[in-house]
Amino acid sequence: MPTGLVEINKDKEVKFKGYVTAPANGVYPGVLLLHQEFGIDANIRNMAELCAAKGYTVFVPDLFWRDMPGCELNSNKEADLEQAAKLIKNYNIDKGYGDIVSCLQWLRETPQCNGLVTTIGYGLGANLSYLSGLWLDIESSVCYDFQGYGFFQEHDTFIRRPMLIHLCKAIYNNLKDNDKIRYLENINNIKLNVYDNCEKNFTRVSDKKFNEIETLKSQKETFSHILEAFNKPHTHS
């Protein structure tokens, strides 16, 4: 499978692109990698390549194909942060979830994927990874800087497969202040990691808030989490 952009046919009229990469030859478990509000930039592409190096077929869909296809925003620039905030505000989570369903199907049908898939999401993508773990038939899910964006529900009490959530202390405190942490703590199959000395975007290599030590720690946890899930596959519905 060549590394680079591919075009996905969501239906007869709608097409959007994504970034794909995989080990040189063979069939592997899949990772649906969901980017932050900054688009498919060098940070998320580097994570995709790291996943591929670990032995996974990776697809990164362009979540903003409707409003700003192909965008790559800089999290250190105020104007780009404002643009990212607008993208989040205007993002239709229901349509986005539909995109994830289509991408999951595409990845599973890719010859280089063995049908087992996990999701890893950052920021906005973390919210979609959460929904994927809640509703979709996947092996596991991982969420970085998960904030909820208003779709926490008290009935979200069951997740079928293991979920790992990485939170910087500020986001954890915000969720706690808004009485949302107790929802997470009451849901089965969730492991919550809190990084006391980190700020939002601590895993972004290009960001001034990047924390290399904690990023490596979180990545080790992430790959251990998804490997364990892939080694204990369940029966798909």
Q: Cα dihedral sign for 34, 35, 39, 42?
A: negative
Both structure tokens of 75: 């999290």
Residue 10: the pLDDT is 61
Helix (H, G, I), strand (E, B) or coil at 78: helix
Residue 1: the pLDDT is 60
Residue 236: the pLDDT is 57
Torsion (CA) 139, 101, 38, 51 in degrees, nearest 10: 30
Q: Residue ranges per domain, the chain? A: 4-230
More confident residue, 132 or 159: 132
Both structure tokens of 33: 């990698």
For residue range 3-37, list pLDDT tens digits in order.
Answer: 677 777 666 556 678 999 999 889 999 999 999 99
* CATH superfamily to which 4-230 belongs: Alpha/Beta hydrolase fold, catalytic domain (3.40.50.1820)
Residue 157: the pLDDT is 60
For residue range 95-132, list pLDDT tens digits in order.
Answer: 888 899 999 999 999 999 999 999 999 999 999 998 89
Residue 154: the pLDDT is 52
For residue range 179-216, list pLDDT tens digits in order.
Answer: 777 777 777 788 999 999 999 999 999 999 999 999 99
Both structure tokens of 131: 């929904």
Is pLDDT at 153 greater than 60 in this prediction?
A: no
Residue 11: the pLDDT is 62
CA atoms within 13 A on the CB side of 173: 9
Is pLDDT at 64 greater than 60 in this prediction?
A: yes
Residue 26: the pLDDT is 93
DSSP 72: B
Is pLDDT at 94 greater than 90 in this prediction?
A: no
pTM for this entry: 0.92
Residue 6: the pLDDT is 75
Beta strands 57-61 and 28-34, pairing class: parallel
For residue range 225-236, list pLDDT tens digits in order.
Answer: 999 999 987 655
Helices 93-109, 124-135: crossing angle, 10 deg rounding: 70
Instruction: Please state, in angstroms and rounded to a whole number, the distance separating the CA atoms of residues 214 and 217.
Output: 5
- Confirm if 140 and 226 have CB atoms less than 8 A apart: yes
More confident residue, 151 or 62: 62
